[in-house]
Amino acid sequence: MFNRLSILFSLIAMIVILAMINLTTPTGVGPLGVLVFFVMVYVVVFGVVNLIVSAFMKAAEKKQGVSKGHYYAATIAFGPIMLLLVQSFGSLSIVTVAMVIAFVFLGCFIIGKRF
């Protein structure tokens, strides 16, 4: 049920992103619009990653509960958002990408040990 809802919300968020890209500019939409854009990108990436994680859990036949997969998906989906934010500041480098990857791996490690 949650996977279907995440797919539905991802499609709605993709439509909102496409409308924002085609109808507005970053300066015209303001700070709240930029925040909405980043939230919608996170929702889309979360939906895609959630599908991938659930497929891997079904392939591995792990019965660890649904919420652990959602925790993994939320952590992994935040990586591209961090990269997008760093790119918007203009300071994207190899070191920054490595730090984001390390953050995502650390988050997944904590989820694996905690839950």
How much is the pLDDT for 3? Answer: 75
Residue-range definition of the domain harbouring residue 62: 2-114
| Beta-carbon contacts of residue 9 (< 8 Å; ≥ 6 apart) | 43, 47
How much is the pLDDT for 88? Answer: 86
Q: Which amino acid, residue 67? A: S
The domain total for the chain is 1
How much is the pLDDT for 64? Answer: 61
CA distance 2 to 79: 22
How much is the pLDDT for 69? Answer: 85
Residues in the chain where the model's pLDDT stays below 50? none
| Beta-carbon contacts of residue 33 (< 8 Å; ≥ 6 apart) | 20, 24, 26
How much is the pLDDT for 67? Answer: 78
How much is the pLDDT for 7? Answer: 87
pTM, two decimal places: 0.84
